[in-house]
Structure 1
């Protein structure tokens, strides 16, 4: 699938703010107990197998399971984020890539997380992205997806003093769950929470899904 112009804008935006993003958000898991707990679930479900962090930013999410002995591969669109992640989290592997064309072989991962990365996809890209995530997961592999709850689209033209053009798509849990199921997943758990004082003032949604172990999906 060819990459849309929007993906180029997202890459350029995150390249521009990469250093400031790391400074402001690179330590966020310290004040996110729900996220840490859900990452712990993903690690347990992986049963020692490799875990993918899809849209990892500066690598802090991938670094958390890597520090606990997991084999982790981060995949991100932004070359600047890749550079920071490789420097700061040498215990994990990092690759540059797009959610619609993940640089991974079929069934490479036992589990995957996509925390606030699908929010940059256009509506018609969500299902193909979930199908691609299913491709790189093993049968019965676990996927954790998080997103901002709502229906609006926010465009940033300026981000921490840098000119950008990045869209943030707020999503409804029911729609994301339906698209995951269409892509061959079974949604097993749903969670919503309010934004924390250290975060943007949005409600957050989480879906924990399992890739169906169907013969036609390998």
Structure 2
């Protein structure tokens, strides 16, 4: 997996336009996800909320519509440019979750919406520690990801465009264990479409006050 970060950045720069079109209205078809996002926004309360791995910004914008002071961070400059054009007035910036450039204790909430799925297992503990550091005491994290126990190399997507990204499926228990090791209190684990092959999962966690 050497070079995975550069490969991931290049891949999403390549597919940014097609991906943005695909997900533009995707939340309208996901009642359980929208309910989870509403709960997350309510739990986070007032204060900055980071959507880490925001892609084209549709989820960031949804959070702002719920009243959250949300901003987006993404590895892909092309995604960030699309997000800025689609949602003017909302803050979007490039950034890397393996070295999150946010002040300690600066966030009320942090969302990773299927954005840790390309991070290798060996880096996830440090990534979770970075999330914990950025959240204020009492701050809330919501992690969404592909559930399972497998890794595959994805070489094309979103209209057949070339990609090179590793996609990791992980159990909620595994993600929760990393979060607990980083100092989080895990409060809930949800499975989405548990009978389907492409099962998703959500974990709610909090930095203890």
Task: Give TM-score scaled by structure 2 length.
Answer: 0.94
SS at match of 1:139: strand
Report if the CA contact (8 A) 2:108-2:140 is conserved: yes
- Structure 1 residues 34-43 or 11-20, which shifts more? 34-43
- Aligned partners of 1:58 and 1:69: how far apart in 2? 19
Cross-structure match for 1:209: 205
Q: Deviations over 1:181-202 (max 9, x none)?
A: 0001010011002179xxx950
- Aligned partners of 2:53 and 2:81: how far apart in 1? 14
Q: Any unmatched runs of 5+ in structure 2? A: none
Matched, 1:165 2:164: yes
Number of positions where the alignment pairs a residue of Structure 1 with one of Structure 2: 207
- Structure 1 residues 61-70 or 111-120, which shifts more? 61-70
- Aligned partners of 1:46 and 1:69: how far apart in 2? 11
- Aligned partners of 2:44 and 2:142: how far apart in 1? 12
CA RMSD between the two structures: 1.6
Report if the CA contact (8 A) 1:149-1:202 is conserved: yes
- Aligned partners of 1:207 and 1:69: how far apart in 2? 22
Query: 1:154 deviation in Å?
Result: 1.8
Cross-structure match for 1:216: none
Cross-structure match for 2:117: 119
Task: Give TM-score scaled by structure 1 length.
Answer: 0.90
Cross-structure match for 1:179: 178
Query: 1:103 deviation in Å?
Result: 2.3
Report if the CA contact (8 A) 2:41-2:66 is conserved: no
Query: 1:49 deviation in Å?
Result: 1.3
Query: 1:173 deviation in Å?
Result: 1.1
Cross-structure match for 1:72: 70
Matches within 5 A, 1:27-38: 27-38=25-36
Matches within 5 A, 1:52-201: 52-159=50-157, 160-194=159-193, 201=197
